[in-house]
Structure 1
């Protein structure tokens, strides 16, 4: 428990510092985090029957994330950004030269790693530029809402939890915990509106509701994958917490929807 608390403290401190350090540090740090999540996904799915080209998938995933990051930083044009689709064809061609029994399955897992573990970071990075210029308050607020939702769910579930939320996938999650996390996230949203501004009060509350609901679903989806694969954690990078996918599972589903909601506004 002590190790988990220490790791969690430094993890949060580093993330806050990264977001507040300006657009370049923010973009390239989360491109790297996206790459680590992709690599962890390949490590999870690799077994006797499935062998995606992990190095190729990780490198191409980082290149695509990096290209989008350069676009957000206004360093490349939208036309240049279209060329990020080219690594997809490289994946197909390289499969011809790999002597594996199930090349279609391997390519499918490789591309799914990009979609599941990499693509959400495109949207999360986009939260920093949702108003056209870099502002740390939306991505930082989003992370705070994720953390408060997790904290509220843990505290409410531990003290009041009785009705299982999705016992087949995650026996410890309860409806009471879900409601507790949602309410604490909404309370945090009202505080963020007071100190951060940027969005209206209604906007922050809506972001809190989306983050709480779909962050919880993202957690459940990753739990489903780990159960299917027979693994406890996505990795061992963060002592007491598992891997990066374990820490960002809520972001993977919530960040794209929050970004689309804010762009729709």
Structure 2
């Protein structure tokens, strides 16, 4: 428990620091997370029947996050982001030169790693520049709401949890926990408007609802992945916490939807 608390404290400090130190530290840090999470996914799913193209997949994550970051920093025109597309084509071409019995298993899992573990971080990077210039308060507020939801769900579930939410996937999650997380996230969102501004009060609350709902589903998706592979943690990079996918499971599903919401409103 002590190891878990110490790891959590320092990791949160590093994440917040990377956001607040400026646009370069922000895009660099979350680009690294995108690449490492992709590698973690490939390591997790690898077996005799499944051999993702790790180097190509992780390289693609680096290229896409790098191109998007460079665009938002103002050093690249938007059309150059399309230069990442040939890497996706290579995912289909390289297996032609490998002697694998089920090559499309490898192709599918390579693309799944990018879609599931890398691209959500690219959307998170984009969240910091959604107003046209770097605004650290939107990604920071997003994470505060996400962490608040997790805390509220844990406390409410532990105190009042009776009705199982998805017992087949995660026996410990309850409807009471889900509602508790949603309420705390909404309350925190109202306060974020007071201190962070950036968007209206109702928009902060809407973001909290999206994060609570789809963050919880993201947690369940990652639990489904680990259960199907019969593993406890996605990795060991964070002592006491597991891997990056374990810590950012809620972000992976909810971030693209939060970005989509903000683009339209």
TM-score scaled by structure 2?
0.98
CA distance in 2, matches of 1:80, 1:138: 26
Q: Over aligned residue pairs, what C-alpha RMSD do you find?
A: 0.8
Q: 1:244: which partner in 2?
A: 244
**SS, match of residue 199 in structure 2:** coil
Aligned to 1:43: 43
SS in 2 for 1:52: coil
For 1:71, the equivalent position in structure 2 comes to: 71
CA shift, 1:97, in A, is 1.9
Question: What secondary structure does 1:180 align onto?
Answer: helix
Query: How many Å separate the matches in 1 of 2:123 and 2:52?
Result: 25
Deviations 1:170-228 (A, max 9, x none): 00000000010000001100110111111111011111111111100000001001111
Residue 15 of structure 1: how far off its partner (Å): 0.5
User: Any idea what SS the aligned residue of 1:165 has?
Assistant: strand
What count of residue pairs does the alignment treat as equivalent? 265
**1:213 paired to 2:206:** no
Query: Does structure 1 residue 85 correspond to structure 2 residue 85?
Result: yes
The SS at the match of 2:121 is helix
Name the stretch that deviates more: 175-184 or 97-106.
97-106
Query: Match of 1:112?
Result: 112
Give the aligned partner of residue 23 of structure 1.
23
Question: Are residue 136 (structure 1) and residue 136 (structure 2) matched?
Answer: yes
Query: SS of 2:134's equivalent?
Result: coil
Question: In the alignment, what sits opposite 2:166?
Answer: 166
- Contact 2:56/2:87, CA 8 A, preserved across alignment: no
- Shift in Å, 1:84: 1.1
| Structure 1 position 176 matched with structure 2 position 176 | yes
Measured in 2, the distance between the counterparts of 1:158 and 1:132 equals 42
Q: Secondary structure at the match of 2:237?
A: coil
Q: Equivalent residue for 1:125?
A: 125
Deviations 1:111-130 (A, max 9, x none): 11000101111111111011
**Whole-Å Cα distance in 1 between the matches of residues 96 and 65 of structure 2?**
25
Structure 1, unpaired ranges of 5+: none
Post-superposition CA distance 1:64-84 (Å, at most 9, x none) = 111111111121111211111
| Residues in 2 aligned to 1:91 and 1:253: alpha-carbon distance in whole angstroms | 23
- Secondary structure of the residue aligned to 1:172 is strand
SS at 1:47's partner residue? coil
- Partner Cα distance (2:186, 2:60) in 1: 38
